[in-house]
Structure 1
Amino acid sequence: MKRHAAREKAFQLLFQLDMNPSTSNESISEQLLGEEKDEFLRSLVEGVVTNQKEVDHTIATHLEKWTIQRLASVERTILRIATFEITYLEDVPTNVSINEAIELAHMYGDEKSGKFINGVLSKIISK
């Protein structure tokens, strides 16, 4: 699976988890097993879930006049994935993480999502 497709699948799984927190980790693991044992996909999903408090804190400190809870689930999930990549994955260039996040925002968000995602991530990388 290409990394773009892995990010999109990770978004779908993490969005599902965000919308329905009672989704068990076993359910997510089962869905991951069906994905050809893609290590990048697994690292994104498990990394965001494992490090969610730290990732959310990083996002929250770079939001202006917003809280992470007030963000739409689409934007929150995309920001979590990109922030995890930027913070924890050294083999992914920062600009690639940002561009992929903007692409996901254009696919799943509204017309303002891409610009919003870009603004928050730009603040995170300029820290």
Structure 2
Amino acid sequence: MSAARQPRPQRARTKARKRALDILFESEARGEDPLEVLAHRRTTDDAPPVSDYAATLVEGVVAHRERIDQLLAEHAEGWTVARMPAVDRTLLRIGVYELLWEDDVDDPVAITEAVELARTLSTDDSPRFLNGVLGRIADIAPQLRATR
């Protein structure tokens, strides 16, 4: 395969974020355990493949969901976590996980990726909303990472 045809790592991570969103969104909509949905998706031939990074995101959001939701509640001005549109809530959870627990993802990348997915998958107001919430959390991320 030529160098021009090989997927760039960033593109692969973008796909992984979308796949993690799909799994987390599906599990919430169906009231199922996200880890069970993940396991099923990884063993099903008729579904798109689940990359290691997508699995890491799902597992990380599940492991830290209580703390993530606490931060979202504190920094989503005028919104409760339960009232957020489901896609936005899920993208915010992935974004906060990447901001605080994925050391090899730069903060601006985590925010931009979440905003871009919101731009294509959610409401017209969602990109600005996600950018604001994730930006506020990114501002204090160094202190939050120090206490994790």
- Fold-level similarity (TM above 0.5): yes
Aligned to 2:13: 3
Give the TM-score taking structure 1 as reference length: 0.91
Aligned to 1:20: 30
Correspondence 1:66-105 to 2 at 5 A: 66-105=79-118
Moved over 2 A (4+): 22-28, 32-38
Per-residue CA deviations over 1:34-84 (Å, capped at 9, x if unaligned) read 565622111101111121111111111101111111101011000000000
Instruction: Go from structure 1 to structure 2 and tell me whether the alpha carbon gap of 1:125 and 1:48 turns closer, same or farther (over 3 Å shift).
Output: same
Mapped partners of 2:37, 2:13: distance in 1? 22
Q: Would you say the 8 A contact 2:42–2:50 is kept in 1?
A: yes
Which blocks of at least 5 consecutive residues in structure 1 are unaligned? Answer: none
Q: Which amino acid aligns with 2:22?
A: Q
Instruction: Go from structure 1 to structure 2 and tell me whether the alpha carbon gap of 1:33 and 1:89 turns closer, same or farther (over 3 Å shift).
Output: farther
Mapped partners of 1:57, 1:110: distance in 2? 23
Give the TM-score taking structure 2 as reference length: 0.79
Aligned to 1:110: 123
Q: May I ask how many residue pairs the two structures share in their alignment?
A: 127
Q: After TM superposition, give the deviation of residue 118 of structure 1 in Å.
A: 0.2
Q: Is residue 2:136 matched to residue 1:126? A: no
**Identity among equivalent pairs (%):** 34
Mapped partners of 2:84, 2:66: distance in 1? 16
**Two-structure CA RMSD over aligned residues (Å):** 1.7
Mapped partners of 1:25, 1:49: distance in 2? 8
Specify the SS of the correspondent of 1:61: helix
Specify the SS of the correspondent of 2:32: coil
Q: Which has the higher contact order (CA 8 A, sep 6+)?
A: 1
Which blocks of at least 5 consecutive residues in structure 2 are unaligned? Answer: 1-6, 141-148
Q: Would you say the 8 A contact 2:27–2:37 is kept in 1?
A: no
* Mean Cα deviation higher: 115-124 or 20-29: 20-29
